[in-house]
């Protein structure tokens, strides 16, 4: 243990005890949260991303800089092991290393550990190597079991009608289509320190390491939920029209959907279009997207210029490089006169060099190793917490997805990553002989909003 860390923590806590008008334990825990970037020193509020998700400040001290053993010894004294072992958590007559009472010292230790664990959880969440988590926008939740009506997802698709003098303006009917989201779900884990293993957890640094694993696990779950929707294994799209009393469920890919005037047809968003020659492949993709019909009006609803994000498995890494780095492309042909004479065979006799025509077609390319893993994984579910794979061969796993993330799906969140420390005096803590405990969870659902905003391109 670093003596310098011990002395610094001890001095800071002593200063808090002597000068704070508030409870020293709360003030010291507040300083810890500010140091590791959880809260803003000026406002006391948690740092958050634009979507409201909690995050860590960029200018901060990593949690790894805080030695848990040093903090424990500085707050509970050199005999902290016996203090934890004999269970004298609330004994006012116990010898306190610093401060007004042993109760305050234990409370400060509990709050400080809670802050470090919360920081470790967010560190684990933010640094985990998952590449699909931030794909979709966040929407608030009204009802836990679903039942809301999203009326602004697809929107009207017809020109404004002519309005005569004194006539009433026709209604644009934003309620002509509505999407009903599915139920929410809660995911999480807990972290506890038993009295028997307190020495190992505190001196060995295992508690903060396991806290980072909690954050890793939460992000892993969210990545799995995104893959479930992207690969078409979770089909939760439900569409209702004006006269419908309830919404109708449809598959994400290749569903028979309304195409206007009461008619239905297959939505051609699931096509055989392997990535071989980019010119031919993208033309086929564009033509399919140009054939979409609005589900109410039946008028053309071309989506070719809206699906500007590509999600591809890591086995197609070359394709991402092609899109993002190649500046020019050379095309060969056999022009007629006055071009060069035609040779026997089909070899080109003329060449044209131009800028890469696909350079501006896509504004985001996501290469995902987890998508490739899901493609090739077995269709047999061996773990109840993991969705089974698609069982594709290496060749067939080269399928790629073209989408508009803002229109295709959303990340419905009742609450984001939340960490709560257990009351050390609770029955459960006493019954299981635990000296510290915390749990972290979030309530989240990935909801398909419009299958018209995604296209799956398969090899076969």
In the prediction, which pLDDT does 329 show?
A: 78
In the prediction, which pLDDT does 100 show?
A: 44
In the prediction, which pLDDT does 10 show?
A: 66
pLDDT tens-digit map of 388-410: 999 999 999 999 999 999 999 99
Per-residue pLDDT band at 421 (split at 50, 70, 90)? confident
Per-residue pLDDT band at 319 (split at 50, 70, 90)? confident
Per-residue pLDDT band at 21 (split at 50, 70, 90)? low
In the prediction, which pLDDT does 188 show?
A: 94
Per-residue pLDDT band at 1 (split at 50, 70, 90)? very low
Q: Is the pLDDT of residue 92 over 60?
A: no
Interatomic CA distance for residues 310 and 364, integer angstroms: 6
Task: Please give the average per-residue pLDDT across 152-170, as a whole number.
Answer: 83
Task: Please give the average per-residue pLDDT across 138-158, as a whole number.
Answer: 83
In the prediction, which pLDDT does 418 show?
A: 85
Average pLDDT, the chain: 83
The rounded percent of the chain whose pLDDT value lies above 70 is 85
In the prediction, which pLDDT does 182 show?
A: 94
Which range has the worst mean pLDDT, 52-61, 88-97, 117-126, 296-305?
88-97
Q: Is the pLDDT of residue 341 over 80?
A: no
Q: Is the pLDDT of residue 46 over 90?
A: no
Dihedral sign for Cα 227, 232, 235, 236, please.
positive
In the prediction, which pLDDT does 82 show?
A: 65
Q: Is the pTM of this model over 0.75?
A: yes
Q: Is the pLDDT of residue 457 over 90?
A: yes
In the prediction, which pLDDT does 227 show?
A: 97
pLDDT tens-digit map of 73-89: 777 777 676 666 555 54
* Neighbouring residues of 158: CB distance < 8 A, sequence distance ≥ 6: 294, 297, 299
| Beta pairing class for 434-448 and 185-194 | antiparallel
In the prediction, which pLDDT does 136 show?
A: 95
Q: Which residue has the higher pLDDT, 211 or 251?
A: 251
* Neighbouring residues of 176: CB distance < 8 A, sequence distance ≥ 6: 156, 241, 242, 296
Q: Is the pLDDT of residue 97 over 60?
A: no
In the prediction, which pLDDT does 420 show?
A: 84
pLDDT tens-digit map of 164-220: 998 898 876 656 789 999 999 999 999 888 877 776 777 767 888 888 888 999 999
Q: Which residue has the higher pLDDT, 272 or 304?
A: 272
In the prediction, which pLDDT does 366 show?
A: 93
Q: Is the pLDDT of residue 238 over 70?
A: yes
pLDDT tens-digit map of 222-237: 999 999 999 999 999 9
Interatomic CA distance for residues 232 and 250, integer angstroms: 11
Q: Is the pLDDT of residue 51 over 70?
A: yes
């Amino acid at each position: 243990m670093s003596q310098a860390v011990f002395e610094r923590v001890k001095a800071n806590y002593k200063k808090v005890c002597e000068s704070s008008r508030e409870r020293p334990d709360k003030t010291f825990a507040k300083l810890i949260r500010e140091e590791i970037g959880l809260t803003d020193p000026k406002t006391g509020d948690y740092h958050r991303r634009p979507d409201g998700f909690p995050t860590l400040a960029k200018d901060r001290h990593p949690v790894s800089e805080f030695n848990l053993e040093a903090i424990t010894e500085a707050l509970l004294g050199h005999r902290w092991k016996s203090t934890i072992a004999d269970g004298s958590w609330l004994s006012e007559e116990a010898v306190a290393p610093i401060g007004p009472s042993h109760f305050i010292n234990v409370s400060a230790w509990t709050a400080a550990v809670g802050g470090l664990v919360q920081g470790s959880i967010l560190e684990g969440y933010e640094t985990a190597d998952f590449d699909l988590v931030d794909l979709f926008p966040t929407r608030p939740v009204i009802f836990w079991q679903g039942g809301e009506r999203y009326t602004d997802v697809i929107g009207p698709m017809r020109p404004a009608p002519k309005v005569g003098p004194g006539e009433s303006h026709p209604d644009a009917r934003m309620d002509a289509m509505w999407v009903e989201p599915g139920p929410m779900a809660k995911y999480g884990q807990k972290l506890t320190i038993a009295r028997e293993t307190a020495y190992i957890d505190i001196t060995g640094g295992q508690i903060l390491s396991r806290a980072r694993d909690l954050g890793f696990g939460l992000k892993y779950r969210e990545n799995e939920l995104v893959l479930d929707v992207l690969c078409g294994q979770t089909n939760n799209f439900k569409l209702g029209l004006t006269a419908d009393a309830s919404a109708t469920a449809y598959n994400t890919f290749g569903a028979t959907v309304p195409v206007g005037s009461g008619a239905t047809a297959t939505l051609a968003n699931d096509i055989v279009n392997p990535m071989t020659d980019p010119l031919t492949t993208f033309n086929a993709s564009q033509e399919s997207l140009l054939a979409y019909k609005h589900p109410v009006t039946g008028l053309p609803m071309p989506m070719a210029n809206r699906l500007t994000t590509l999600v591809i498995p890591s086995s197609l890494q070359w394709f991402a490089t092609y899109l993002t780095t190649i500046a020019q492309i050379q095309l060969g042909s056999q022009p007629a006169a006055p071009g060069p004479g035609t040779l026997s065979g089909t070899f080109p006799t003329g060449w044209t060099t131009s800028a890469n025509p696909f350079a501006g077609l896509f504004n985001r390319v996501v290469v995902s190793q987890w998508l490739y893993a899901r493609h090739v994984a077995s269709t047999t579910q061996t773990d109840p917490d993991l969705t089974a794979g698609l069982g594709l061969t290496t060749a067939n796993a080269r399928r790629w997805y073209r989408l508009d993330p803002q229109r295709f799906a959303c990340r419905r969140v009742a609450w984001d990553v939340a960490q709560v420390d257990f009351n050390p005096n609770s029955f459960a803590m006493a019954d299981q002989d635990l000296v510290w405990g915390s749990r972290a969870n979030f309530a989240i659902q990935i909801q398909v909003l419009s299958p018209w905003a995604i296209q799956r391109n398969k090899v076969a």
